[in-house]
Copies of this chain bind each other. A is one copy, B any other.
Amino acid sequence: MKMFRNDYSEICHKRVLEALNDALNEQNVGYGLDKHSENAKKMIQSLIKNDNASVHFLVGGTQTNMTMISYALKDYEAVIAVATGHINVHETGSIESSGHKILTVTGENGKIRPADIKDVIKNHVDEHMVKPKMVYISNSTEIGTIYKKEELEAIYKTCKENNLYLFIDGARLASALTSKDNDLTIEDVAKNCDSFYLGGTKNGLMFGEALVIINDSLKEDFRFQIKNKGAMLAKGFISGIEFEAILKDNLYFEIAKGANDNAYLLSRKLKELGFKVDEVYTNQVFVTCSNDEACFITNNFGCELWRDLGEEKQVRFVTSFSTRKEDVIELYNTLKKYLNK
C-alpha cells in the first residue's frame, strides 16, 4: 500500500538518480562553483527571464529561510508572517535563534493580506518596538492554498510602499504554479518579490532548494552568509546535477502537476465516500472524519493527524511525484471496504 504521508517519503525521481549515476566518475570543484551548478543557475535565470538574479543552492527549507532572513534583517528588525507560517510554527525557533522576531498576523486561508501588513506597520511606531522589515509568505501555503496574481501583486506593492522586503518560501512553489486555480507564472513570482526559492526536497529531489535573489541589496556577500549558517554543501555539484535533471524538459512542473491531479482525484474519491474534504488547490488534502476513521487512515496510509477538533479529527493526505492514479484508487477501495460501502 502506498503511503500518503507527505511529499518527501521517497529518495527522488528516477531521472535525478540517473543523472547522478551518469556523473559518478566526474571530478568537480566544491562548494557550488562547478559547471553543473553554473548550468542549473542559468536554467533558472532563463526560466524567470532574469539574467541578473542570483541563484544559490541550499539543502533544506528551514535552513534557507534562516539563512536569508538573518541575512536581510538587522538585530532590531522583524519579519511579518501568518501565524500558521512554517517559520513561526515548524522551525523550532530557528529564526529567533538566529536573532529575529516574527510578527504574526491571522491572515485568511493561510495567506497574508495587504491590510494585515498595514496593521503591523501602523502598530510599530518607535524604537521601543521592533521595526518590521520583511514579509514572509509561502506559496503554496502551509495549508495548501495558493496566492492569486492579484493577491501577490497587492502584497508586493504594500511591501514596496512600506520599505519591506518580500520573501517567498517556495518549498512547494511548483505545486502552487501548477494548481488548477493558479494564474501566476514563475516570471510573475520573480517580478513580485525580492527573493524566493524553488523547492526541490518536496518535488522530486533528494534534497535542495534553489534560492533566487532578485533585489540587488540582498545579493552582496551572500555566500559568506551561507557558509556562516553551516549551509554550504561541500559537494555542491550534487545540487547542481539534481536541479539540471529536474528542470530539464519541464520535469519540475510536470511532477508537481501530476501530484496535484492525483490530489484532486483523491479529493473527489473521498467525497464520494462521504468525507468532508476542504477545498483542494495543490497536493495537500485535508479531511475531517471521526476518531475511528482517523485512526484507520493514519495507520493504513501513513497520514498525519493534523488537528484535534474534539469529536472529530482532521487528517492530511499528501500526494507526490511518486503517487500514481492506481495508488489513489487502491486507497479508495481500501477505505470503501473499511466503511462497508
Contact = CB atoms under 8 A, between A and B. Distances in A.
Number of copies of this protein chain within its complex: 4
Interface in A72-86: 74-78
A131 B101 CA distance: 17
A234 interface: yes
Contacts of A77: 93, 224
Contacts of A207: 233-235, 238
Contact of A227 (B27, B76, B99): B76
Nearest to A67: B230
A117 to B, nearest CB: 18
- Interface residue SS majority, chain A: loop
A116 to B, nearest CB: 16
Nearest to A18: B21
A74 B27 contact: no
The range of chain A's interface size is 35 or more
A10 B238 CA distance: 9
B17 A3 contact: no
A84 to B, nearest CB: 12
A223 interface: yes
A230 B229 contact: yes
Contact of A76 (B92, B202, B233, B237): B92
A339 interface: no
A302 B33 CA distance: 14
A298 interface: no
B234 A92 contact: no
B67 A93 contact: no
Contacts of A95: 96
A128 interface: yes
Interface in A13-34: 14, 17, 20-21, 23-31
A35 to B, nearest CB: 13
B60 A201 contact: no
Given A10-B26, A75-B70, A63 B231 contact: yes
Contacts of A131: 221, 224
Interface centre among A60, A63, A230, A237 (most CB of B within 10 A): A230
A94 interface: yes
A325 interface: no
A112 interface: no
11 contacts: A10-B24, A11-B20, A11-B23, A11-B241, A63-B230, A75-B93, A75-B97, A92-B130, A93-B130, A98-B99, A206-B235
Interface of A: 2-3, 5-6, 8-12, 14, 17, 20-21, 23-31, 59-67, 70-71, 74-78, 89-102, 127-131, 201-202, 206-207, 221, 223-235, 237-238, 241, 302, 322
Sorted from nearest, which 8 A-B pairs have the closest CB atoms? A63-B230, A76-B224, A92-B227, A96-B101, A93-B130, A127-B223, A93-B101, A76-B228
